[in-house]
Structure 1
């Protein structure tokens, strides 16, 4: 009897992935001079190197090429969505505050659930809708006092950030639509390549210090490439809304790492809102029981 079911292993992967995503803020606090476009370029470049290297190590050159080809049009679509997320998130942060950006990103589970219902004909459990609503309220409460006025530069930044949850939702739907027979980990590689190629002209000339390059390599390898690969693996055994909800751990953990690693003490609202988000995530995973829970777990495997 296995220690963990496929569904439980997928949940574990989707806890590890946003935990790694969440270290972006605290690591970027320690950059000397690298800014928006340059950060996005180097992070995407190192992500591509990591994912490409992992594929070559696991499959060899010939099989890696075959896997990329087998991903086909759906792989290109997913790669484009990854690229939009990689670019727009960092650009948004140069135009508005972290709080404004994260508030916009928090609509992703709701949009994902809606698209899964419309496109995949996937039934979304009432508990998931409830968890999505509770998580959105919790995130809003976390950042309510630090929200900037929506106008001018901030409005542009929030509009750019709006592309991230849209791309994330469509990406999750694309991965689920591809099914078990298509490996879309190469799409993470394509997204990294697209993003780096797009950012190079606006990031040039590259004046990044070696200190910053080491931090950006860490971001590319362990904050972007690895967790995105883990998410694609987890998607095989989780519903799209479930993945999108668990991804909100990034928003929850980001302020914690900033507190521990950069001395940014969280406000009381952050702690209360974070508790609400955590409760919503735990509720969504533990609510199913008995025959209903077994049917849902079987359906996802």
Structure 2
């Protein structure tokens, strides 16, 4: 986890593409969700006692992979142009991603993978709420109902913090991840020219530098380093590369639907591999959030399937 939300990078999809390109896009987004879903399971294999050590090496490997990917795809000049073209919006997205990816690793020491992933399922709807609060973007009634359901589901999940059953730090960090991802989504919608890959690469650099100031040691075992490589380069970096390449050629709602696979599969892998069972309130609250997202996506897919009325351009939905 600790990656951009599906809604964030999918906003720019809209150009006319061939059927074969669209199929490849579907496959790439599916693979990105699959790669990302293994994040929690990989993290549970790492024995490093200091979370900041994990943040540092994961960020270093992810940054190296993403930089190599951009150099291969765009060449040195193209890569430099992408970083220069980000501007303030790209910097803001990078800071959001650095915060989210760092919080994800630290939160794993305090709460379950299911609690983190299920809370993030509501990011697209939280982003709609933020857009309404800041920019007064129109929000349809079904979206308002879905937002209310997400708030209720999150409240159920974090209620365990008040009873002392789980650490409030874990739930607080999980909620912070959802909020900063939502902010990144809103920024990307408002500044559609921002390219996700360089912004995220910069975010991993920020996270690495900050972790370097907090960690007590950079030393890890060889087995841990292998898992850290997989956690950073493959889980985060390769997942992002697949998503950034695929999401731009398929409708945003379909990308969001495929992205929900991470929310479903992530807790399953941790349960099967590490026997980590989520609490009853996590399952209940997460189910409310997840169902609200699925209903919202279903309505969006239905809206996109309707033929456009004469004179109406294909502008993205305000919600």
Q: Indicate whether the TM-score tops 0.5.
A: yes
Stretches of structure 1 lacking an aligned partner (at least 5 in a row): none
Q: Is the 8 A contact 2:118 2:289 kept in 1?
A: no
Q: 1:227 to 1:291 in 2, by over 3 A?
A: closer
Which residue matches 1:223? 235
Map of 1:164 onto structure 2: 177
How far is 1:265 from its partner? 5.5
**Inter-partner Cα distance in structure 2 for 1:137 and 1:192:** 32
How has the CA–CA distance of structure 1 residues 135 and 260 changed in structure 2, closer, same or farther, with 3 Å as cutoff? farther
Name 2:97's counterpart in structure 1: 82
272 and 260 in structure 1: CA distance in 2 versus 1, 3 angstrom threshold? same
Specify whether residues 269 and 281 from structure 1 end up closer, same or farther in structure 2 by C-alpha distance, changes over 3 A only.
same
3-state SS of 1:162 partner:
helix
1:252 maps onto 2:264 in alignment: yes
Task: Supply the distance in 2 between the matched residues of 1:256 and 1:297 (Cα, whole angstroms).
Answer: 42
Output the CA distance in 2 between the equivalents of 1:289 and 1:68: 37
Matches within 5 A, 1:2-81: 2-3=18-19, 14-81=29-96
For residues 124-273 of structure 1, what are the structure 2 equivalents within 5 Å? Answer: 124-133=139-148, 147-149=160-162, 154-179=167-192, 181-232=193-244, 234=247, 247-264=259-276
Q: In structure 1, what is the Cα distance between the partners aligned to 2:295 and 2:313?
A: 16
Q: Is the 8 A contact 2:119 2:154 kept in 1?
A: no
Equivalence for 2:106:
91
Show structure 2 runs of 5+ residues with no match: 1-16
TM-score (norm 2): 0.73
| Structure-1 separation of matches of 2:113 and 2:44 | 12
Q: Is the 8 A contact 1:109 1:132 kept in 2?
A: no
TM-score, normalised with respect to structure 1: 0.77
The answer to whether the Cα contact below 8 Å between 1:188 and 1:225 also exists between their aligned partners in 2 is no
Distance in 2 separating the partners of 1:156 and 1:270: 15
Distance 1:109 1:133, change over 3 A: farther
- 1:299 counterpart SS class: coil
Provide closer, same or farther for how the CA distance between residues 119 and 49 of structure 1 changes in structure 2, counting only shifts above 3 A.
same
| In the alignment, structure 1 residue 293 sits paired with structure 2 residue 306 | yes
Moved more, 148-157 or 63-72: 148-157
Contact 2:114 2:282 in 1 (8 A): no
Offset of residue 170 of structure 1: 1.2
Post-superposition Cα deviations, 1:83-133, rounded to whole Å, max 9, x if no partner, equal 111112222333455565456545533321112335566544444444555
**Whole-Å Cα distance in 1 between the matches of residues 237 and 136 of structure 2?**
30
Q: CA deviation at 1:256?
A: 0.7
Tell me how many residue pairs correspond in the alignment: 296
Tell me the CA shift for residue 202 of structure 1: 1.8
- 2-structure distance, mates of 1:81, 1:100: 20
Seen in structure 2, the aligned counterparts of structure 1 residues 244 and 290 have a Cα distance that, compared at 3 Å, is: closer
